[in-house]
Chain A
């Protein structure tokens, strides 16, 4: 998958705050929400942002902590916009 790391090796809260602080179009999803063939892991509600056609999301790796990734959005942008579940 093509992605850019915006924030490496951090705590989940830092990553969530980074997304909320740096992006305007933010959606909140529950853990287990499927996006890019992955299931979101994290403390609910999990913020994801849409920016310039990309999706920005927190991604947890057990050995390395949490990362904020920017991924080309494709069809996931529309799914996020339709699936908005709250303002957190």
Chain B
């Protein structure tokens, strides 16, 4: 099973923490996890996990969109990190290009419009900027991510 973590701008601190947390869960379930993001998002991940216990494979966000569009790769499960309108556009793009089941990981201060715009995806959402605990609680509520791909 293959999973993608798609990250946008890392301006909200919870993003990196939650990405590492989800990556760990997915690794433990046997997923092959790829993390895609812009340069800053990937740099934060790699600096937080220097020995690559959680983050095994990374790629540039634009390259990832290109590879999905060209059908060079695909995933079973895709987590899109969303705290702004840009995140919604990436979610819509992944839904167009991939057969993956999509999970919208929504955070920030104004999450209601983002939740509305993510209808059709599995939603993990909490008002969170610095503290990842509310998002962790929702992630822990899913007992098996692999089961969602079946």
Contacts and interface: CB of A to CB of B under 8 A. Distances in A.
Interface string B64-94: 0110110000000000000011111110110
Interface string B39-53: 011000000000000
Q: Is the interface of A mostly helix, strand, loop or mixed?
A: loop
A32 B96 contact: yes
Size range of the interface on A? 20 to 34
Interface stretch (A17-25, A48-56, A61-69, A76-84): A61-69
A44 interface: yes
B110 interface: no
Interface of B is mostly: helix
Contacts of B8: 62-63
A31 interface: yes
A43 B119 CA distance: 13
Contact of B89 (A34, A38, A60): A60
13 contacts: A12-B85, A31-B69, A32-B69, A39-B65, A39-B66, A39-B69, A41-B90, A42-B93, A62-B8, A63-B40, A64-B9, A65-B84, A66-B86
Interface of A: 11-13, 30-34, 38-44, 60-66
